[in-house]
Amino acid sequence: MKLQRMNRRALSLGALAVSGALALTACGSDDTGGKSGGSAAASAPAGNVKCDDAKGQLLADGSSAQKNAIDAWVKAFTQACNGVQINYKGGGSGAGVTAFTQGQVAFAGSDSALKPEEVAASKSVCKGGQGIDLPMVGGPIAIAYKLDGVDNLVLDAPTIAKIFSGKIKTWNDPAIQKLNPKAKLPSLKIQAFHRSDESGTTDNFTKYLIATTPDNWKYEGGKAWTAPGGQSASGSSGVAQGVKQTNGAIGYMELSYAKDGLSTVAIDTGASAPVTASSDGATKAIADAKVVGTGSDLSLKLNYATKADGAYPITLVTYEIVCDKGNKADTLPATKAFLRYIASEDGQGVLSGINYAPIPADIIAKVRTTIEGLS
């Protein structure tokens, strides 16, 4: 036990050391495996990974929002378990769920929990079981913008809704000016970017608007963007790139992509001060969530309308979707070993340093127990 504690402490220290490097480079990773995220994660610690009988190749797809976290985890895991290859495409939550229910991947990542019809579809793949949601990665959905001369911007839910629905068209609109009385806002046209692919990031962003300003957001939620107008791009990296290249642009993306020339909006939630996107702010918001899944499913209900000080309201949780029973015999050992590692104290410990939020302790403890029961 003493040796095990020493190993765990050594790995935790290593995780802290590597997280600084990851924070600088992970945001450069694109949705199909960018070089920056891979090279950053190459030095990730791997001394306390329990490989068991893990071997072979794991195929996975899904959330692009968690892609930078997966890149870091895969590097650490495959260092320790060199008989395993993991290929995570990061093609978006919709693509991941589809691939999972068609039996094409060992697990999927999704920023939205499985719908009842998706659970039903999974039963043909999970023989004797079904797909379940395991919350693994938290993260704020940043509203990033590029506006020359404006480094600090505050918006509230009604204003955000009007910007992304095209009702507010220029940056010097009175509603924006009222929230930013000291800013020199130009009469520049607003270019609002949204996701072109089905995305859990879109789902969570629109859930926030529906929950907080229903009078100003009359459009359906879900993974597909349904509001009129705007510019579209594929993946979180595509939206980030579009905003970065366009003065006057604004878009929503996971915080790890909101770097290199982009500023992020502080949100007036009604708390004592506007809240900026941060890992700590996301963890505070997730701690207010409730487990609503049944059985071994651990899907959460987030409180998008939180007014708690320091809680960032536009927060997503990415689930790893896996069969509770009926996993393929050739991939089960590697799947369990990888999920066990990323849910561990060491795996979760990497997240804050790369602009993600660890899952709160009481929830991740349930995830660890569920992983051990996968069959």
pLDDT tens-place values along the chain, 375 residues long: 433 444 444 444 334 333 333 332 233 333 433 333 333 333 445 457 889 889 999 999 999 889 999 999 999 999 999 999 999 999 999 999 999 999 999 999 999 999 999 999 999 999 999 999 999 999 999 999 999 999 999 999 999 999 999 999 999 999 999 999 999 999 999 999 999 998 889 999 999 999 999 999 999 889 999 999 999 999 989 999 999 999 999 999 989 899 878 999 999 999 999 999 999 999 889 988 899 999 999 999 999 999 989 999 999 999 999 999 999 999 999 999 999 999 999 999 999 888 899 998 999 999 999 999 999
Instruction: Provide the β-strand partners of residue 290.
Output: 301
d(CA 77, CA 233): 31
- 62 and 27, same structural domain? yes
Q: What is the pLDDT of residue 47?
A: 54
| Residue 116 CB neighbour total at 10 angstroms | 7
What local confidence, expressed as pLDDT, does residue 19 receive? 36
Shared domain for 122 and 252, answered yes or no, is: no
Q: How far apart are CA 107 and CA 127, in angstroms?
A: 15
In a domain? residue 312: no
Structure tokens at 41: 């994660």
Domain boundary among 282, 306, 332: 282
Question: Do 120 and 243 share a domain, yes or no?
Answer: no
Residue 176 Cα distances to 116, 157, 190, angstroms: 40, 11, 12
| Same domain for 83 and 35 | yes
Q: Does the residue 227 lie in any domain?
A: yes
Task: Flag whether 368 is in a domain.
Answer: yes
Could you tell me the CA-to-CA distances from 90 to 87, 236, 320, 332 in Å, in that order? 9, 10, 12, 21
Same domain flag for 61 and 87? yes
Q: Is residue 76 part of a domain?
A: yes
Is 314 within a domain? no
Cα–Cα distance between 132 and 107 in angstroms, integer? 10
Out of 282, 305, 340, pick the residue that ends a domain.
282
CB atoms near residue 38 (< 10 Å): 17
Domain that holds residue 102: 2-137+321-372
pLDDT at 156: 98
Torsion angle (degrees, nearest 10) of CA 216, 218, 222, 223: -70
Phi/psi class of residue 35: alpha, beta or left (left: φ > 0; alpha: ψ in -120 to 50)?
alpha
pLDDT of residue 260: 79
Q: Where does a domain end: 234, 253, 282?
A: 282
Residue with tokens 């809680």: 311
Q: Is residue 13 part of a domain?
A: yes
The number of distinct structural domains making up the chain is 2
Greatest C-alpha distance within the chain: 65
- Do 127 and 200 belong to one domain? no
* pLDDT computed for residue 5 by the predictor: 42
Instruction: Report if residue 64 sits inside a domain.
Output: yes
Q: Exposure pattern of 170-205 as b/e (b: 16+ CB <10 Å)? A: ebebeebeebbeebebeeeebbbbbbbbbbbbbbbb
Q: Is 217 helix (H, G, I), strand (E, B) or coil?
A: coil
CATH number at residue 178: 3.40.190.10
- pTM for this entry: 0.75
In a domain, 304, yes or no: no
Residues 6+ apart with CB under 8 A from 82: none
- Same structural domain for residues 275 and 326? no
Q: How far apart are CA 316 and CA 237, in angstroms?
A: 17
Helix (H) or strand (E) holding 322: strand 315-323
C-alpha span between 38 and 75 (Å, rounded): 7
Identify the DSSP state of 357. B
Torsion of CA 167, 200, 44, 364, to 10 degrees: 120
Report the b/e string of 136-160 with b at 16+ CB within 10 A: bbbbbbbbbbbbeebeebbbbbbbb
Is there a single domain that holds both residue 146 and residue 132? no
Are 208 and 315 a contacting pair, CB within 8 Å? Answer: no
Same domain, 157 and 128: no
Residues 45 and 123 in one domain: yes
Whether 276 and 201 map to the same domain: the answer is yes
What distances in angstroms separate CA 198 from CA 91, 135, 195, one per listed residue? Answer: 9, 20, 7
> Distance (Å, rounded) from C-alpha 71 to C-alpha 31?
10
**Three-class SS of residue 141?**
strand
158, 263: one domain = yes
